[in-house]
Chain A
Amino acid sequence: DIQLTQSPSSLSASVGDRVTITCRASQSINTYLNWYQQKPGKAPNLLIYVASTLQSGVPPRFSGSGSGTDFTLTISSLQPEDFAIYYCQQNNMTPWTFGQGTKVEIK
Chain B
Amino acid sequence: DGGITQSPKYLFRKEGQNVTLSCEQNLNHDAMYWYRQDPGQGLRLIYYSQIVNDFQKGDIAEGYSVSREKKESFPLTVTSAQKNPTAFYLCASSFEVDRGFQPQHFGDGTRLSIL
- Note whether A and B form a binding pair: no
Q: Write the residues of chain B forming the contact surface with A, with a CB cutoff of 8 angstroms.
A: none
Q: Write the residues of chain A forming the contact surface with B, with a CB cutoff of 8 angstroms.
A: none
